[in-house]
Copies of this chain bind each other. A is one copy, B any other.
Amino acid sequence: MTDTAVLVEAIDRAGYRVTRPRRAVAELVADRDGHFTAADIVVDARRRRPGIGRATVFRTLDLLAEVGVVERVDLPDGEHAYVGCEPSHHHHVICTSCGRSTDVADCGMREVAREVERRSGYAVASHRLELFGTCPDCQSAGDREP
């Protein structure tokens, strides 16, 4: 969960207008804990902020992603989702049990990429890494009631 103000400020700082609908979407995103889909936010919006159009939700999520305070991830089942995050290069570990996600720094990916370049001859420009597993909370919960 991120703070609404951070999201709004990122929009502002990037030179985009801070409008009522964008504020509303930012708030809904901030209230989310783990990963969420555009559809989730659309539902939230319909319930808690009627009057906000579907298209606007999609546009605002795109915007938040562009601004770097939210990132698109692909779940193992191929579904597109978003997670709130800090605007710097990093990856995500996603809990397959509760959906929460945590940012992690590069953790040696630089070396892996270099090794791949050496072996394949490719000039690696970017990569996408997503890790899936069980978060600490769900691990202890699982231990107690298996």
Contacts and interface: CB of A to CB of B under 8 A. Distances in A.
Interface of A: 72, 74, 76, 78, 80, 91, 93, 95-96, 102, 104-105, 107-109, 111-113, 115-117, 119-136, 139
A112 to B, nearest CB: 5
A108 to B, nearest CB: 5
Given A78-B74, A107-B119, A119-B104, A124 B113 contact: no
Contacts of A95: 122
A104 B116 contact: yes
Contact of A132 (B108, B127, B136): B127
A135 B132 CA distance: 29
